[in-house]
Amino acid sequence: MQTKLLAAGVQIAAGPPKLFKKALAKKRSDMTTKVHFDSYGCFTSIIASTIEPYPKEGFGFLGGKTSHKIRYHKSSKDIIIQAAYPLQTAKRKEDKVEFKDLKSFKRTRNLLNCLGFDIIGEYHSHPKENLLKITKDDIDHDIEEIKELKKENLAISFKWMDLIIGINRKRYKTNFGEQSEWIKDKNKIKGTVRDRKFGYKFEITGYLFDINNPKKYDEANLFLPSK
Ligand SMILES: [Zn+2]
């Protein structure tokens, strides 16, 4: 903390008071867009479709809606994810997914609109390598996708989400021990899925891109579905 020297030699803190700092941090977290999973059904589709191709990447689309809320006399918008669909024709590799069949890609993505959902974004996994952050390739793909969706005039959310599923396999010595569980940890969702001697550790991060300025993105505040 910075300090200011007084003439009498007494030092006082020059930074903002603690209470003010707390209020500022709260205001910042209030401004972060909240993203909720509507049900464990849709959440499970994402998890299962990233475990299945492991150690290759999993990929799919997210559909849902925007929920308008009034908090402290201010209106805000949350995103609700209601549908997750894995793209079956994607060519999966350990460090990327290739879309060879663009017609299938567009058909599947656009189908979300036909079924009554806004297109919220996409999800893909980052297996093994502990790479939990969004990459430059991811960002380039997201910017292209936003341009494309706007050109095609599709119903999209006010922000585009790239949901990154960090996944690592663990081997256990016994059939017992760590249990399958999910927790919210700050803005992320973390969890373990255990199947006897194998377990999969997850760290899920959502990146939200501004539809009108796609080069600008920030981390979403993710919430687990309620039981
Ligand atoms: Zn990626």
Range of the domain at 205: 29-223
Tally of CB atoms within 10 A around 42: 19
Ligand 1 mean position to 95 CA, how many Å?
A: 8
The pLDDT, as a whole number, for residue 22 is 62
Ligand 1 mean position to 7 CA, how many Å?
A: 56
Q: Is 23 part of a structural domain of the chain?
A: no
Q: Is 40 part of a structural domain of the chain?
A: yes
CA-to-CA separations, 133 to 56, 74, 137, in angstroms, rounded = 17, 32, 11
Ligand 1 mean position to 21 CA, how many Å?
A: 34
Amino acid letter, 166: G
Q: Is 18 part of a structural domain of the chain?
A: no
pLDDT in tens, 188-212: 999 999 888 889 999 999 999 999 9
CA-to-CA separations, 32 to 19, 116, 212, in angstroms, rounded = 20, 26, 17
Do 207 and 176 touch, CB atoms closer than 8 A?
Answer: no
Q: Is 142 part of a structural domain of the chain?
A: yes
CA neighbor of 59 nearest in space, from 9, 16, 96: 96
Counting residues of the chain whose pLDDT is more than 70, the rounded percentage is 83
Q: Is 24 part of a structural domain of the chain?
A: no
State the Cα–Cα distance between residues 85 and 163, nearest whole angstrom.
Answer: 13
The pLDDT, as a whole number, for residue 17 is 63
State the Cα–Cα distance between residues 178 and 201, nearest whole angstrom.
Answer: 11
Ligand 1 mean position to 126 CA, how many Å?
A: 6
Model confidence at 4, in pLDDT bands (50, 70, 90)? very low
Please tell me which residue, 30 or 79, carries the higher pLDDT value. Answer: 79
Ligand 1 mean position to 61 CA, how many Å?
A: 14
CATH at residue 80: 3.40.140.10
| Statement: residue 165 has pLDDT above 70 | yes
Q: Please, which residues bridge with residue 104 across strands?
A: none
Ligand 1 mean position to 57 CA, how many Å?
A: 9
Task: Report H helices in the chain.
Answer: 18-31, 40-51, 102-114, 136-151
pLDDT in tens, 98-154: 777 788 888 888 889 999 999 999 999 999 766 678 999 999 999 999 999 999 888
| Statement: residue 16 has pLDDT above 60 | no
| Least confident interval from 12-16, 173-177, 195-199 | 12-16
Q: Is 144 part of a structural domain of the chain?
A: yes
Amino acid letter, 192: T
The pLDDT, as a whole number, for residue 129 is 66
State the Cα–Cα distance between residues 194 and 180, nearest whole angstrom.
Answer: 5
| Statement: residue 219 has pLDDT above 70 | yes
* 212 HSE (CA, 13 A, CB side): 1
Ligand 1 mean position to 165 CA, how many Å?
A: 9
Ligand 1 mean position to 102 CA, how many Å?
A: 19
Q: Per the structure block, which two tokens stand in for 52?
A: 């299945």
| Statement: residue 163 has pLDDT above 80 | yes
The pLDDT, as a whole number, for residue 130 is 61
Ligand 1 mean position to 116 CA, how many Å?
A: 28
Do 88 and 36 touch, CB atoms closer than 8 A?
Answer: no
Instruction: Please tell me the total count of domains within the chain.
Output: 1
State the Cα–Cα distance between residues 149 and 211, nearest whole angstrom.
Answer: 10
Model confidence at 72, in pLDDT bands (50, 70, 90)? confident
Q: Is 6 part of a structural domain of the chain?
A: no
First to last CA, the chain: 43
Mean pLDDT of the chain: 84
Q: Is 8 part of a structural domain of the chain?
A: no
| Statement: residue 2 has pLDDT above 50 | no
Ligand 1 mean position to 179 CA, how many Å?
A: 28
pLDDT in tens, 25-44: 555 555 789 999 999 999 99
Ligand 1 mean position to 48 CA, how many Å?
A: 18
State the Cα–Cα distance between residues 61 and 85, nearest whole angstrom.
Answer: 5
Ligand 1 mean position to 208 CA, how many Å?
A: 14
Please tell me which residue, 69 or 26, carries the higher pLDDT value. Answer: 69
- 0.85 exceeded by the pTM? no
